[in-house]
Amino acid sequence: MSEKLDRRKKYTRKVLKESFISLLAEKPIASITVKEICEIADINRSTFYTHYSDHYDLMEKIEEEIIEDLSEYLNSYSFTIDEESLQMTQKLLEYITRNQFMFQTLLSKNGDPTFEERLMEIAQSFMIKNWGSANQLDEQQSRYFSTFVVSGAINVIKDWIEGNMGKSPEEMAVMINHFANYGVSYLE
C-alpha cells in the first residue's frame, strides 16, 4: 500500500513541476497562481498544498533537486585529470540535454536569478577544491580563475540551450574544456 502511495506522490509532484515549468516559460513567477498550476496539472488545490506551501516553494524544491543532483554528480569526479574533466563536462551537458526545457526556463528572464548564482557557487567551489591547489594558485587566484571559467561556461551553456543545442554534448564539452584550458589558442 505504501509503495502505491509513494508512486502516487511522485507522479503528483512530477505533474505539478511540469505544469509549473510550462507556465514559467510563458510568464514571470509573480504572475503565476497555484490555481493555474493545478488546472494544468488536473490536480485539486488541496493536493497541491499537501506537497508545497505555494508556487515559490515549488520552484525552490525544483531548484534544490537540480542543485543536489549536480552536486552529487560533480563530487563523483576528480577534476585534476583532463580526460575525467572532459567526461564530467559531457555528462553534465547530457543531464542538461535531458532536462532542456527545465534549464531553458529556469535560466531565462522568468527564472529565479539566484538559481544561476547557486549553480555558479557549486561549480566554483568544486573547481577551487579540485583544480586550484593542483595548479599552485593561491586562494584569491583560484577564486578569480574559477569565476572566470565558470561564468563563461554557464553563459556558453545558456547560449547553447537557447540555440536549440546545435552541437552535441560531446562537442560542447570539448569546446568548453578547450576554452577553459587553452583560451583563444583553441581557435587558432
Residues of the chain with pLDDT under 70: 1-5, 77-84, 130-137, 184-188
Q: Cβ(51)–Cβ(12) under 8 Å?
A: yes
Q: Which three cell numbers stand for residue 57?
A: 516553494
The pLDDT of residue 81? 56
CATH class of 1-52: mainly alpha
Which residues have CB under 8 Å from 46's CB, separation 6+?
none
pTM of the model: 0.78
CATH topology for the 62-186 domain = Tetracycline Repressor; domain 2 (1.10.357)
Q: Where are the beta strands (DSSP E) in the chain?
A: none
The pLDDT of residue 98? 87
Residues of the chain with CATH 1.10.357: 62-186
Residues of the chain with CATH 1.10.10.60: 1-52
Instruction: Tell the residue number behind the cell numbers 567526461, with chain if given.
Output: 87
The pLDDT of residue 130? 65
Q: Which three cell numbers stand for residue 36?
A: 493555474
Q: Cβ(25)–Cβ(105) under 8 Å?
A: yes
